[in-house]
A and B are shown apart, each in its own frame.
Chain A
């Protein structure tokens, strides 16, 4: 019984491979369409990585600065910093900038601009305030931090909080990045469905050309699985070959063009992202293409197994 199963399985696998290699024109057509489908899925995957990179870059640029009144000692500022760290564990970094350091930074930034430096000399005294520069991983807590700083007794120590000045820009940026994430997902799903449908129809048309053969196989007594099996193997092989083609081509393109692509993708390293996420990417590609190939073949053959 088991040896019969193994013999049949070997024959089915052989027939699948034989049909693929003998019907080169048809196989080429299906593999081409499926490769396009896999390439699009891969592009969506890379786009997702790129958009995450953009969002994270944008978020890095956002921070909140708290300026303390002139007479506030560094100890009191450090106490506020410690309170902030305890209350908001998601705070990634808090940087203390003393009055002196703020002056240094200003001078360094405008060292070639005599107008600013002259203006500073006019003022005479150090006009800058000590501040805390706060960055978080979660942009949603900026408003909570701002509320926390607005409460007694911290409120009395603070001259101003930059969040209120940048609030509009920050809110717009986060609403844009959120929409970009959601839009990306919706677009990816629509595109994936569209590609799946096109590939399914291509496989269906290809198997349709075997209609007569399938009916002959039925008439000589072949079981449904003996007929269906080779087509499923073919679907599986189409998927595997498409993934191999796409990955080899994509790797070669990225390998040779990566330095030039960096300029287009705002320093996002596509090759590095491809290599780092290679196993996840290949898994996604295989699951997509193999399911698509095997499922399309199954449905297409099923229509002709009723004779």
Chain B
């Protein structure tokens, strides 16, 4: 379903210094898999996600999503591809001037879902993430955990084939962390592919799923039933 083939990404700093974020990384992800991408901060996890989302351009190599070469995609096709992926961003990236309900409905409106379907689906998803009582609050009125759950609701509302979660528990306490992880497990059980980027050992060890480990931009381990080991 997703294929990274010899992917390299080099950033140029202001003083023309080259920083290698990813170096010759290759791996495949199959449909309905739950993959954790682990590594220290700066290992290249977020870059990997940005490349898959077309947010950044590759230096060399290729990335395929369902046979589509992401590195050569046209802008219009890129937007269509993004609608097939739900992303939970590390910094939530919620729309601050829209309410909880509107943040979630925006994604459905983007793909042209009818108002009737929107009214039917959103209360269910908000209930699933425990935000049904917060539907008409603005993001700034929510706690960190609630904001993260809203980001998850937004990522899954349009039933994407893949959900990518970039450090979804980075800013949360232990209770909220496990709530989020359980939510991701639940979504995975519905048949959605999950890619979880994290540096939280406890989460990865508890999942007992495939683990891809990155270190200084290089893939150092791909363990199909792994633990957080360097």
Contacts and interface: CB of A to CB of B under 8 A. Distances in A.
Interface of A: 4, 7-8, 11, 18-19, 22-23, 212-213, 215-224, 226, 307
Interface of B: 53, 55, 75-76, 79-83, 87, 89, 93-97, 106-107, 109-112, 114-115, 154
28 contacts: A7-B112, A8-B112, A11-B109, A19-B97, A23-B97, A213-B95, A213-B97, A218-B82, A219-B53, A219-B55, A219-B82, A219-B87, A219-B89, A219-B93, A220-B82, A220-B83, A220-B106, A220-B154, A221-B79, A221-B82, A221-B83, A221-B110, A222-B106, A222-B110, A223-B76, A224-B75, A226-B110, A307-B55
Contacts of B87: 219-220
A22 B97 CA distance: 7
A224 B79 CA distance: 9
Contacts of A216: 93-95
Contacts of B112: 4, 7-8
A222 B79 contact: yes
A23 B97 CA distance: 8
A216 B106 CA distance: 11
Given A4-B112, A7-B114, A8-B112, A223 B97 contact: no
Give the top 6 A-B pairs by smallest Cβ distance, nearest first.
A221-B83, A221-B82, A216-B93, A222-B110, A22-B97, A221-B79
Contacts of B76: 223
Nearest to B76: A223
Contacts of A224: 75, 79
Contact of A212 (B55, B80, B82, B93): B93
A23 B115 CA distance: 25
Contacts of B97: 18-19, 22-23, 213
A220 B111 CA distance: 10
Contacts of A218: 79, 82
Contacts of A219: 53, 55, 82, 87, 89, 93
Contacts of B154: 220
A221 B84 CA distance: 9
A307 B109 CA distance: 20
Contacts of B111: 221
A221 B93 contact: no
Contacts of B96: 213
Nearest to B96: A213
A220 B107 contact: yes
Contacts of A213: 95-97
Contacts of B82: 218-221
Given A216-B94, A219-B53, 16 more contacts: A7-B115, A18-B97, A19-B97, A213-B95, A213-B96, A215-B93, A219-B82, A220-B106, A220-B154, A221-B79, A222-B110, A223-B76, A223-B79, A223-B110, A224-B75, A226-B109
B110 to A, nearest CB: 5
B159 to A, nearest CB: 13
B115 to A, nearest CB: 8
Contacts of B89: 219
